């Protein structure tokens, strides 16, 4: 009988006991709102922001209601206005162009290379054609481009970088944490990310003006002095009269859940990457299957896995998906003709009026994706790789 995997690709680890106890303590005293504290008390959100800034190496941090809110807040803090072009990767998830479009701005998509990173030659071309001043760089599915080259290029082009680190919390490029290369970075704590509060997110920056605007935008009600990972009061002096409230604060309950998880983030990231390497090892050399090779400079977090079936016809890719599913392995396909769940792609987002991108189309046509939750053991990952290898090989050889 062929091997079958019986685990779930969507079941995350349980919330740690320390986080449960901290959450119960917040519920017992009832002070869930971030500014509802008693004299001398440091609220959970304020403490979390301080700790997150320390982990990432940023001067300032702000905890917010979602990763999507963080993206929109970052653009507002930069003064992006209606009709303005904002550059972003064509290979990303819907909240990225959604955050741009929600401001009335115009997403302009940049080609994607076979290693799933942004095409810098096309980036330069689009920047010059559009006059854009902001690049919202999505480290999609945890793949980090050559950040040294990108930062130098954006400096030449006059582009400010907003880093979408939803999939790279804990990752590094040449030892520098993801999120430390741009003017502002955005993170997510949605259930399938590297910290889990159901929904939630962060912004980080070293720029006092940007972070002061972000804090005011988040709905600080002139209580910005209670933030511990924030710029000094003088940074807010004039901005507080001119910055609208677009409320998106994190609450103390979610912060209490996140703080114990943040303390063990480095260990969790190492565990994810061990699982990624186990799948990679099992798939290497599979006929018809192309791995995404990771550069030495990239210390990535392997919470999901991608491979390509380059040049395969759609019906043969569908056959691989069906055969793998029959053996318990859930593969997602970014090349499907219709968007399915998170695998929507740039040509599905009609509100952005996207232009065709032949390079990205060729990459996405055969791009497969699967989550690697920490509920999987290393043995599970080896089994998953054996199943995928067998089914890809069978369909490849039958063609």
* Domain boundaries defined on the chain: 17-263, 265-398
Please say whether the dihedral angle defined by the alpha carbons of residues 336, 337, 341 and 344, taken in this order, is positive or negative. positive
**CA atoms of 35 and 42, how far apart (whole Å):** 10
Query: Which residues neighbour 129 within 8 Å (Cβ) at sequence distance 6 or greater?
Result: none
Q: How far is CA 365 from its chain centroid? A: 22
Helical (H) or strand (E) element with 52: helix 44-56
**CA atoms of 333 and 340, how far apart (whole Å):** 9
Q: What is the pLDDT of residue 1?
A: 81
Low-confidence ranges of the chain (pLDDT < 70): none
Q: Which of 361, 299, 390, 389 is nearest to 109 (CA)?
A: 361
Q: What is the pLDDT of residue 363?
A: 97
**CA atoms of 165 and 147, how far apart (whole Å):** 13
**Does the domain spanning 17-263 belong to CATH 3.50.50.60?**
no
**How would you list the strands of the sheet with 160-164, edge to edge?**
60-64, 201-205, 184-188, 160-164, 134-138, 85-89, 106-110
Q: What is the pLDDT of residue 297?
A: 98
The three-class DSSP label of residue 92 is coil
For 110-152, the DSSP string reads E-B-TTSSB-HHHHHHHHHHH---EEEEE-GGG----HHHHHH
The three-class DSSP label of residue 103 is coil
**CA atoms of 170 and 276, how far apart (whole Å):** 15
**Does the domain spanning 265-398 belong to CATH 3.90.1150.10?**
yes
Task: Give the HSE-up count for residue 116: Cα atoms under 13 Å, Cβ half-sphere.
Answer: 26
Task: Give the HSE-up count for residue 223: Cα atoms under 13 Å, Cβ half-sphere.
Answer: 13
Q: What is the pLDDT of residue 341?
A: 86
Q: What is the pLDDT of residue 142?
A: 98
Query: Where do runs of H (alpha helix) occur along 171-251?
Result: 208-217
**CA atoms of 47 and 256, how far apart (whole Å):** 9
Cβ burial of 167 (10 Å; 0-12, 13-18, 19+) is: buried
Q: What is the pLDDT of residue 143?
A: 98
Q: What is the pLDDT of residue 104?
A: 97
Q: What is the pLDDT of residue 399?
A: 72
Q: What is the pLDDT of residue 340?
A: 87
Query: Which residues neighbour 6 within 8 Å (Cβ) at sequence distance 6 or greater?
Result: 328
Q: What is the pLDDT of residue 229?
A: 98
């Amino acid at each position: 009988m062929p091997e079958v995997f019986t685990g779930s690709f969507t079941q995350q680890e349980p919330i740690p006991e320390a986080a449960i106890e901290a959450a119960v303590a917040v519920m017992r005293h009832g002070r869930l709102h971030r500014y509802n504290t008693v004299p001398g008390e440091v609220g959970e959100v304020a403490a979390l922001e301080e700790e997150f800034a320390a982990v990432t190496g940023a001067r300032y941090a702000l905890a917010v209601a979602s990763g999507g809110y963080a993206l929109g807040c970052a653009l507002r803090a930069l003064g992006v206005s209606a009709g303005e072009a904002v550059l972003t990767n064509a290979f990303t998830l819907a909240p990225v162009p959604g955050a741009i479009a929600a401001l009335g701005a115009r997403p302009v998509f940049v080609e994607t290379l076979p290693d799933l990173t942004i095409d810098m030659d096309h980036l330069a071309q689009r920047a010059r054609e559009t006059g854009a001043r902001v690049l919202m760089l999505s480290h999609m599915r945890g793949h980090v481009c050559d950040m040294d080259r990108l930062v130098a290029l954006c400096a030449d082009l006059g582009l400010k970088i907003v880093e979408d680190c939803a999939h790279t919390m804990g990752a590094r490029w040449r030892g520098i944490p993801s999120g430390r290369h741009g003017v502002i970075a955005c993170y997510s704590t949605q259930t399938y990310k590297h910290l889990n509060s159901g929904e939630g997110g962060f912004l980080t920056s070293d720029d006092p003006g940007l972070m002061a605007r972000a804090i005011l935008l988040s709905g600080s009600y002139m209580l910005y002095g209670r933030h511990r990972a924030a710029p000094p009061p003088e940074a807010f002096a004039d901005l507080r009269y001119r910055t609208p409230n677009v409320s998106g604060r994190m609450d103390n309950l979610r912060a209490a859940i996140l703080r114990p998880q943040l303390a063990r983030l480095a260990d969790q990231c190492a565990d994810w990457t061990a699982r990624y390497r186990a799948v990679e090892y099992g798939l290497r050399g599979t006929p018809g299957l192309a791995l995404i090779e990771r550069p030495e400079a990239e210390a990535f977090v392997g919470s999901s896995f991608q491979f390509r079936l380059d040049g395969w016809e759609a019906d043969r890719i569908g056959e691989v998906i069906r055969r793998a599913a029959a053996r318990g392995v859930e593969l997602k396909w970014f090349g499907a003709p219709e968007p399915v769940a998170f695998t929507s792609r740039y040509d599905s987002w009609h509100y952005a009026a996207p232009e065709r991108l032949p390079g990205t189309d060729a990459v996405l046509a055969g791009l497969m994706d699967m989550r690697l939750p920490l509920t999987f053991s290393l043995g599970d990952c080896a089994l998953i790789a054996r199943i995928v290898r067998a089914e890809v090989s069978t369909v490849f050889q039958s063609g």
